[in-house]
Amino acid sequence: MDFFSTDDGERIHLKISGRGTPLVLLHGWTSTHRDWNPFLEAFEACHQVFRWDARGHGGHALKSASVPTVARMARDLHTLLDHYGLEQAVVAGHSMGALTLWQYLRDFGSARLSRVVFIDQSPKLLTDAGWQRGIYGDFDHRRNVQFMGELESDFAESVLRLAAFGHNPRSLAKYLENGSGIETARQRLRALDPRPLIDCWASLTAADYRDMLKTISIPALLVYGGASNFYSADTAEYVRDSIPNALLRIYDGVDHAPHLWERARFIQDVLDFVAQPPG
């Protein structure tokens, strides 16, 4: 893997391939750059594709005591763009990657970006009396404190249960069946160092981007799962209505990873979106 160094001395590892307009792909919490492998053949034909292992992810040990907060990951994205001299980049973020992209836009603006893609994410994960568009529609501070305690006790199982006990009945059925796919995911999660990932989760759940959505002035594509584990259509519609001229695509019947379930559709949606004339 290639890597670049950050201003606090960490190395961020990434894969780069293809030629053309830069396309930066940001994965979700506990995931890696490999999430994007199914899309490479299509995207590499017209894009130089950058996909990283975010700070604290991918099995790369941190060199310092730095915490992989969403603000720190946004600065890492800024450093990536600087290091490789990227301009007019298209950036797509799934889940945590969407939060990272919102934080980047808040902190650094959109001057170096041409278009953005947000995949199945809420601008505020925790719910409260005035906000039910976060996780499950019912995941407040108290539930998050409880969940973080569970992460400390059994990280892998808690992550699996977070996805299983949401809105998607197929995810719950697969978890209860405890088949080979769940066991593979369990073993992958058990191989990770939980400390930076728990610290990262604390940062993600403290974030609130509702106030900045209206400031996004470049074209935005929103892709949401119609049967997302975590979010209802109301969340997707809120984000669409908050970002000027955002384009929303809801993939019926699929979960928090709509791009992985509907790969051909996602590829076509992204390519069509990028090909649209500005304005």
* pLDDT of 279 above 70: no
Residue 125 Cα distances to 9, 22, 103, 203, angstroms: 30, 29, 14, 11
Q: How many domains does the chain have?
A: 1
Q: What does the alpha-carbon distance between residue 88 and residue 264 come to, in Å, rounded to a whole number?
A: 25
Predicted confidence (pLDDT) per residue in 112-150, tens digit: 999 999 999 999 999 999 999 999 999 999 999 999 999
14, β-bridge pairs: 2, 52
What pLDDT score does 227 carry? 98
The predicted model scores a pTM of 0.97
Chain CA centroid to CA 110, Å? 18
Q: For residue 267, what are the domain limits?
A: 2-275
223, β-bridge pairs: 119, 249
Q: What is the CATH number of the domain that holds 20?
A: 3.40.50.1820
Report the Cα–Cα distance between both ends of the chain, in Å, rounded.
37
Average pLDDT, the chain: 97
With 0-12 / 13-18 / 19 or more C-beta atoms within 10 angstroms meaning exposed / middle / buried, residue 211 is exposed
The least confident of 58-72, 89-103, 205-219 is 58-72
